[in-house]
Amino acid sequence: MHYFLELFVVLVLGSVAMHVSDPGVASSLESLRIDGNLSFHDVSLAARDFGNRYRLLPSAVLHPGSVSDVAATVRHVFRMGSGSKLTVAARGHGHSLQGQAQADGGIVVRMENLRGCETKVHDGEQPYVDASGGALWINVLLECLKHGLAPKSWTDYLHLTIGGTLSNAGISGQAFRHGPQISNVHQLEIVTGKGELLNCSAEENADLFYAALGGLGQFGIITRARIALEPAPKMVKWIRVLYSDFASFTEDQEMLISLKETFDYIEGFVIINRTGLLNNWRSSFNPQNPVQASEFDSDGRILFCLEMTKNFDQDNAETVNQQVEALLSKLRYIPSTLFQSEVSYLEFLDRVHVSEVKLRSKGLWEVPHPWLNLLIPRTRIRDFAAQVFGKILPDSNNGPILLYPLNKSKWDNRTSAVIPDEEIFYLVAFLSSAPSSSDHDSLDRALKQNDRILDFCKQAGIRMKQYLPYYTMQEEWRAHFGDRWEDFARRKGVYDPLYILAPGQRIFQKAV
C-alpha cells in the first residue's frame, strides 16, 4: 500500500541533484560554537541508507568533534522551541532500511565521526569496554581482542554502530545464551532531546537507561556505552546440517537452546532457492569448505539448515569434539548433510563482511533491500511456515531467510524493545535484495510478498512483532507497543518533549 509513496520519495526527492539548505537554518546553526563542523551542502550521503528506498535530504550534517558538540546542537534546536521544524537524527552506519536515520530538512549527526570517546577496555573479574555510540562493532571487537576479551552478544554483521544496534536490540545466534545486545550493557551516556548530557544505568537514571535500550533513538543520542565482555574464544567449530522436515528442524533448535551444555551459537535458515549469490550471501559457508550445502540434491524440496558453533582452543579441542559429537547425536538431520569447518573467532564473527565484499564487487550491495524481520511466537511458527514457505513464497526468493528461536527470559522487559508474549519466539528474517538488473518489478514483487506475509499474520491472528519495525501511522505504532505504548509515550514526553529526535522512525511528529 505504501509502495507508491515510497516510489515517489525515491524518484522525486532522490532526484534532487543538489540540495540547497534553508538559509535560516544555516545562519542559526552557524552561530554554534563547536569542536567539529557542520556541513550545509554536502548532505546527500546522509539521505541514503542500506534499504536504498528513501532519500530525505537534511538541511545540515554535523560531524561532531566532541560529545559537547552533540549536546550543544540538540540544545540549540530544543531552545528554538516548538515554532521550529528542525529535527535531529543520529546516523550510525546508515544501515537502516526505511530512512530511520534520516531527517527531512533537519540535522543529521554523523556518529561515526564523533571524537573524544575512544574505545577503552577494562580487564578484571567482570571486564567491560567503554566505546563511542558511533563506534563500529568490528572496531570494538578488534580492540577487545588485543586484551583477549570480546563482547558476548552479537549481530550477524559487525559493520554497524553500537548506538544503531542498541537502539533496536542486536540479535544473533548467541542471544539465546546471553540475551540480545541490549541485555549486555552496563551503562550509557546520552544526550537527551533537551540537550542534557546524562549518564544512566540500572542504578542511575534507570528510566532513561531502559528507555534508550531498544528505544529506536527516541529518547536520546547514545554517545557512549559500557558493554560486558568475556574471555574471547580463539577458534570455533562451525557446523551445518540440513533438514527437509520443518517440525524436526524447529524441535531440534528448541531442544538445543534449552540445554545447559550446548552450542555457543545457534541459528538456522530456510533454503528455497539454492543458487545465486543473492540467495546465499548471508548463508555462505567458509569459502575454503569444499562441500557446500547447495550441492545437496533435494529434489526441489525446501530445506532447513541448522547452523551452530562451538568455541574451542588447542588445549580443549578433544573434549569439545566429544561434546559436539554428543550434541549432534541428539539431532534428527539428514545424515549425509553434516558440514563442518574450523575458523578463528574473528573470522566467524566477521563472516558476513566477506559476502559484502563479493556483493559490492558485483554492484549488488547498494541495491534496494525490502527486508522484513518478524518475531513469531513458538506456538504459531508451524502455521506460519506452512503458509509462508509452502504458499506465499515462490520458488525463487531474492535473498536469504533466517529462522531461529530466542527466549524471552533473556530479554529485560524494562527496555523499550517489544517481543511476542511467549517464552520462545522465532526471528524470521526475509533479507531480500531487489537489483534493477534482475528485473524492474523485483522491488514491487518483494514488497507485495511482504504485505501478503503481514496480511496472513493478521488474518490468522498470529501475535507477532516486527523487529526493526516500520510503520507510518501512530495507530500502528500503538498496536506494535501494545500495553507498553503508554510508557513509551510517557518517556518521550520526559526525554524528548518537542519530538526532535529520530524523526525517520515516524512514531512522533514534531508539531509546528
90 lies in the site for ligand FAD, by CB under 6 A: yes
Per-position x/- string for 355-394, each x denoting binding to ligand FAD as judged by CB under 6 A, each - no binding: ----------------------------------------
Residue from 193, 399, 400, 504 binding ligand FAD (CB under 6 A): 504
- The yes-or-no answer on residue 156 being catalytic is yes
CB of 295 to ligand FAD, least distance (A): 26
β-bridge pairing 107-110 and 88-91: parallel
309 lies in the site for ligand FAD, by CB under 6 A: no
CB of 90 to ligand FAD, least distance (A): 4
420 lies in the site for ligand FAD, by CB under 6 A: no
Whether the Cβ atoms of residue 480 and residue 465 lie closer than 8 Å to each other: yes
Catalytic residue among 156, 264, 350, 496: 156
94 lies in the site for ligand FAD, by CB under 6 A: yes
Rounded to 10°, the helix 67-80/23-30 angle is 130
Rounded to 10°, the helix 485-495/474-481 angle is 120
Alpha-carbon distances of 164 from 215, 285, 346, 376, rounded to whole Å: 10, 27, 21, 23
- Considering only residues 156 through 195, tell me which ones interact with ligand FAD, judged by CB under 6 A: 156-157, 160-161, 163-165, 167-172
By CB atoms closer than 10 A (0-12, 13-18, 19+), residue 362 is: exposed
Q: What is the DSSP string of 302-348?
A: -EEEEEEEEEE-GGGHHHHHHHHHHHHTT--S-GGG-EEEEEEHHHH
- The yes-or-no answer on residue 267 being catalytic is yes
CB of 377 to ligand FAD, least distance (A): 19
351 lies in the site for ligand FAD, by CB under 6 A: no
SS3 category, 477? helix
CB of 372 to ligand FAD, least distance (A): 12
Place of cell 517481543: 419
- Considering only residues 95 through 114, tell me which ones interact with ligand FAD, judged by CB under 6 A: 95-96, 100-101, 111
Going by C-alpha positions, the residue among 182, 216, 186, 219 that lies closest to residue 204 is: 186
Backbone CA torsion sign across 128, 131, 135, 140: negative
Residue 129 pairs in a beta bridge with 121, 227
- The yes-or-no answer on residue 76 being catalytic is no
C-alpha cell at 13: 526527492
CB of 253 to ligand FAD, least distance (A): 17
C-alpha cell at 332: 534428527
Residue from 117, 468, 498, 500 binding ligand FAD (CB under 6 A): 468
SS3 category, 171? coil
Q: Which is nearer to ligand FAD, 153 or 387 (CB)?
A: 153
CB of 127 to ligand FAD, least distance (A): 23
Catalytic residue among 49, 69, 130, 267: 267
264 lies in the site for ligand FAD, by CB under 6 A: no
Catalytic residue among 63, 93, 95, 178: 95
89 lies in the site for ligand FAD, by CB under 6 A: yes
Q: Which is nearer to ligand FAD, 453 or 507 (CB)?
A: 507
Place of cell 501512530: 474
Where along the sequence are the contacts to ligand FAD (CB under 6 A)? 49-50, 89-96, 100-101, 111, 133, 155-157, 160-161, 163-165, 167-172, 216-217, 221-222, 468, 502, 504-505
Indicate which residues carry an active-site annotation.
95, 156, 267
